[in-house]
Amino acid sequence: MNLSLLIIIPLAAAIAVLLSRNGQQVKWISFLSSIAQLGLSLFLLSAFMSERANGNVSQMLFEQRYSWFAPLNIEYYIGVDGISISMILLTAFVVLAGVLMSWNIEKMTKEFYFLLLLLSLGAYGFFISLDLFTLFFFLEIAVIPKYLLIGIWGSGNKEYSANKLALMLMGGSALVLVGIFAVYFMSGIHSFDLLKLSEAHIAIDVQKIFFPMLFVGFGVFTAIFPFHTWVPDGHSSAPTAGSMFLAGISMKLGGYGCLRVATYLMPEAAKEYAPIIIILASIAILYGAFATMMQKDLKYINAYSSVSHCGFVLLGIGMLTKTSIEGAVMQMVSHGLMTALFFAVIGMIYERTHTRKVEELGGLLKIMPFVCSVLFIVGLCSLGLPGFSGFVAEMTVFMGSWQNPEMFYRIATIAACMSIVVTAVYILRAVGKTAMGPITNEHFLNLKDAAWNERLAAIVLVLGIVAIGIAPFWLSDLVSPGAELIVNKIAGVIIY
């Protein structure tokens, strides 16, 4: 299994897109490449599982290592464990759906798909990197396409949103950059190799300074409170596929980074700062949920709910138990699929009705049963209904969080649990008003249900959601060795 294919395929497709002559070619190239990506990641999954079944217990599989910038010990070093594979799968699903959802883009089609592919390249690269430099490289690659996607194809106050997004994310990555340097120099081994660094000892005082930098830096990507404000604006202005990528993939870069880089490399500090992380996460969860309740625009609703849902990721990481970290990863996957689907549905509705205001919508179930059924599914997934991925992930986080017996952790967990009620309130309000009730506008009656590409996109994502929701054990088996490793590292830590 050659992991580099995950980068090569989008890259080749992106170049092919640039060279192609018309929009039709562009779309099909992107479509085929995203199918290939999905196929490849599924193959990767099976290859990984069979390797593990054959007793290969090394931490990372399918490693590749080439020297790159030898003077600084920078390497192109990639490899995967269960956590990365789950993220890769997520990316592949969202990319395919995103490509399908953009089928009707008329304006600058070529550029649009080029940027989409570039974004997916960044995400894949990020998830497979085991070298901090490579990882950072891919992290930043994924920023600018978002800016352009929002700024060019967006709607509403798009320039402002695009700017805000790009700057805040860059701000995050600037902090990450400093953190990476600190790790590189302070670990005493002058290497960006993640695995080597995890064995090197970084002095606790150093960790105390740079852990927050790394964590907040990555946290910005995953909407850590109070650096979440790019989320609502960015999502609401982005084109459908942009929002899908943004929420489905991009926000996960942050969570993954918090886990794989910040927490893994600086366990002492992670333990030290855990209460703060938990407080921030709980705030994000509840406050995001309450803020969602007040939103009137479907995209804002989903954006704020993303803030709330991503809070679970941070909560899971902050709780530092194996189960909670497992839950955090599951939540990342789950939320990625779910929110991508949600944005896809909102896109479908908006494309037809030309409004996203909840008050202006109503009774669409009668007119577009497919779209609204998907809306129901995604709504139910979002409020954590069993059978869908959201439930599994949230419950794992809760179970993991509850394993910390102190009162503080308990209260935080209960606060987080409370969000399931608030979530129900706003989801039902939005979904109920949109799909059910009387039809609010007569011209809605002439609207058509989803087209083939939209159906396919939705089905792909629903399949993902349901696959986790019905059979979570494969995901948890996939993720848990990685989570265990991190937790073992933390468990070995003595607080001075």
Partner 1 sequence: MINELLLMKSELAVTAVIFILLFIKISDTTSNETVLKIVNALLLLNVAFGFCCMDTTGELFSGMFKTNALMSFEKNMLNIGTLLISLLSYEWLRNHRHLPEFFVLMLSSLLGMFFMISSGNFLIFYLGLELSTIPVAALCNFDMEKKQSSEAAMKMIMSSAFSSGILLFGISMMYGTTGTLSFAELPMLLTGSPLQVFSFILLFTGFAFKLSVVPFHLWTADVYEGSPVAVTSFLSVISKGSIVFIFLTTLYNAFAPMGEVWYNLIFLLSVATMIVGNLFALRQQNMKRFLAFSSIAQVGFILIGISGGGQNGTASSVYFMLVYIFSNLGAFGAVQLISSFSGKETIDSYKGLYQTNPLLSWVLTISLFSLAGIPPTAGFFGKFFLLASGAEKGNYILITIAALNMIVSLYYYLRVVRAIFMEKNEQPVAAIQGSIYEKAGLLICVAGIIAVGLYSHFYEYIYALSAF
Partner 2 sequence: MFDKLTLSLIPLLPLLSFLLLGLFGRKVFKNFSGIIGTGALLASAGLSIMTAYNYFFVSGKVDGVYQKITALKISWLEFSPGVSIDIGILLDPISVMMLVVVTFVSLMVHIYSLGYMKGEERFSTYYAFLGLFTFSMLGLVMSSNIFQIYIFWELVGVSSFLLIGYYFDKPSAVAAAKKAFIVTRFADLGFLIGILVLSFNAHTLDFETLIQRLTDPNSEYMRSAIAPAFLGFSSLTWGLVLVFIGGAGKSAMFPLHIWLPDAMEGPTPVSALIHAATMVVAGVFLVGRLFPIFAISCPGALELVAYTGALSALFAAIIACTQTDIKRVLAYSTMSQIGYMMFALGVSGYGNEDGLGYMASMFHLFTHAMFKALLFLGAGAVIHFVHSNEMNDMGGLRKHMPITHITFLIACLAIAGVPPLAGFFSKEEILLAAFHHNKLIYGIALITSGITAFYMFRLYFNIFWSKEFHSHGEHHGEGGLVMMLPLILLSLGAAFAGFIPFSQLVTSDGKPFETVLHLGFSVAPVLLGLAGIFIALRFYKTQNDLSEKISSSLSGFYKSAYHKFYIDEVYLFITHKVIFNLIGKPAAWFDKTIVDGFINRLGSSSEKVSDEIKTLQSGQVQQYAAYFLAGAIGLGIIFIYVLTLK
Select from 15, 19, 43, 69 the one that contacts partner 1 (CB under 8 A).
69
Asked whether the beta carbons of 175 and 213 are under 8 A apart, the reply is yes
**Could you tell me the smallest distance in angstroms from the CB atom of residue 401 to partner 2?**
8
Stretch that binds partner 2, among 239-247, 258-266, 312-320, 428-436 (CB under 8 A): 428-436
Q: Are 158 and 237 in contact (CB under 8 A)?
A: yes
Binding of partner 2 by 157 (CB under 8 A): no
According to the binding rule CB under 8 A, does residue 303 interact with partner 2? Answer: no
| Residues of span 74-133 touching partner 2 by CB under 8 A | none
Q: Per CB under 8 A, does 200 bind partner 1? A: no
- Scanning 19-27, 58-66, 249-257, 284-292 for contacts with partner 2 by CB under 8 A, the matching segment is 284-292
User: How many residues are given for the chain?
Assistant: 496
- Find the part of the chain contacting partner 1 (CB under 8 A) among 208-216, 251-259, 335-343, 425-433: 208-216
Q: What share of the chain is helix, strand, coil (3-state, %, to 5)?
A: 75, 5, 20
The reply to whether 229 sits near partner 1 by the rule CB under 8 A is no
Closest CA to 300 of 258, 261, 343: 343
Interface with partner 2 by CB under 8 A: which range of 62-70, 246-254, 339-347, 403-411? 403-411
456 lies in the binding site for partner 2 (CB under 8 A): no
Burial 393-429 (b: 16+ CB within 10 A, else e): bbbbbbebbbebeeeebeebbebbbebbebbbebbee
Q: Which residues between 162 and 181 bind partner 1 (CB under 8 A)? A: 162-163, 166-167, 170-171, 174-175, 177-178, 181
Q: Which does 414 bind (CB under 5 to 8 A by kind): partner 1, partner 2, none?
A: partner 2
Q: Which two tokens stand for residue 415?
A: 């606060």
Q: What's the Cα-to-Cα distance from 12 to each of 5, 40, 65, 288, 311, rounded to whole Å?
A: 10, 15, 21, 39, 36
Q: Which residues contact 119 (CB under 8 A, 6 or more apart)?
A: 142, 145, 146, 149, 245, 249, 250
Instruction: Give yes or no for residue 421 binding partner 2 (CB under 8 A).
Output: yes
Rule CB under 8 A: say whether 391 interacts with partner 2. Answer: yes
How many whole angstroms separate alpha carbon 163 and alpha carbon 186?
A: 34
Are 165 and 250 in contact by the 8 Å Cβ rule? The answer is: no
Answer yes or no whether residue 178 interacts with partner 2 by CB under 8 A. Answer: no
- Binding pattern for the stretch 114-153 against partner 1, x by CB under 8 A and - elsewhere: -------------------x--xxx-xx-xx--xx--xx-
Which one among 228, 235, 271, 335 touches partner 2, defined by CB under 8 A?
228
Instruction: State the DSSP string of 200-218.
Output: S---HHHHHHHHHHHHHHH
DSSP secondary structure letter of residue 22: S
Site residues for partner 1, window 73-92 (CB under 8 A)? 74
Residue from 95, 392, 465, 486 touching partner 2 (CB under 8 A): that is 392
Q: Does 316 bind partner 1 (CB under 8 A)?
A: no
**Candidate ranges 25-33, 348-356, 450-458, 469-477; the one touching partner 2 (CB under 8 A):** 469-477
User: If 0-12 CB within 10 Å is exposed, 13-18 middle and 19+ buried, where does residue 471 land?
Assistant: exposed
128 Rama class: left (phi>0) / alpha (psi -120 to 50) / beta? alpha
Dihedral sign computed on CA atoms, order 164, 169, 170, 174: positive
Q: Which is nearer to partner 1, 175 or 270 (CB)?
A: 175
Binding mask 371-390 for partner 2 (x = CB under 8 A): ---------x--xxxxx---
Contacts 24+ apart (CB under 8 A), 455-458: 455/370, 456/100, 457/96, 457/97, 457/98, 457/100, 457/101, 457/344, 458/97, 458/341, 458/344, 458/345, 458/348, 458/370, 458/374
H/E segment holding residue 80: strand 75-80
368 binds partner 2 (CB under 8 A): no
Q: How far apart are CA 488 and CA 277, in angstroms?
A: 19
Q: Alpha carbon 153 to chain centroid distance?
A: 21
The residue within the footprint of partner 2, chosen from 179, 400, 464, 482 (CB under 8 A), is 400
Q: Does 164 bind partner 2 (CB under 8 A)?
A: yes
Binding-site partner at residue 385 among partner 1, partner 2, none, CB < 5 to 8 Å by type: partner 2
Q: Which residues bind partner 2 (CB under 8 A)?
A: 164, 167-168, 225-226, 228-229, 233, 287, 290-291, 293-295, 322-323, 363, 365-366, 369, 380, 383-387, 391-392, 395-396, 398-400, 402-403, 405, 407, 413-414, 417-418, 420-421, 424-425, 428-429, 432, 435-439, 471-473, 476, 480
Chain residues binding partner 1 by CB under 8 A are 67-72, 74, 133, 136-138, 140-141, 143-144, 147-148, 151-152, 158-159, 162-163, 166-167, 170-171, 174-175, 177-178, 181-182, 184-185, 209-210, 213
